[in-house]
Amino acid sequence: MKGITPVIALTMLVLIATGLTGVAYIWFSGLLTGSSEKVISIPTGGVYCNGPPASMAIIATILNAGASSSIVASDIKVFQVDGTSVAPSIAAPIKPGEAKTVTTSYTCGGTCAGAGHDIRIGTASNVVQTRVICK
């Protein structure tokens, strides 16, 4: 039996290396794109208490830190105040790089003033948590 010529061997090695590079590129670009969509953050001072003590509500502002997709209320998978799930409401989609207020149906009643409250907000990409102390 004869072996393959060096030219054919070199050609095969180049094709294999090119194929593996292409597969790695597609796989890594999919990972990077998927994790950078619909990422949120809470800007400084983005969670605050609003209203008179008897009907005080907790208001949150979120920033869309994603690359290209807008965020709507259905994209928010987690919205909790002190472990209680609340329904978020966003007036209009939040475009990438934009921050908007997210209102909730959660009111503290008489328990807000002087107390600290843990807030968790998240999408399928990430969950952020902060604490607010109402005055």
Question: What kind of fold does domain 40-133 have according to CATH?
Answer: Immunoglobulin-like (2.60.40)
pLDDT at 2 over 90: no
The confidence band for 47, taking pLDDT boundaries of 50, 70 and 90, is: confident
Q: Quick one: tokens of 122?
A: 């998240």
With a threshold of 0.75, does the pTM exceed it? no
Q: Quick one: tokens of 112?
A: 């807000």
> Residue type at 36?
S
pLDDT at 33 over 60: no
The alpha helices in the chain, defined as continuous H runs, are 6-35
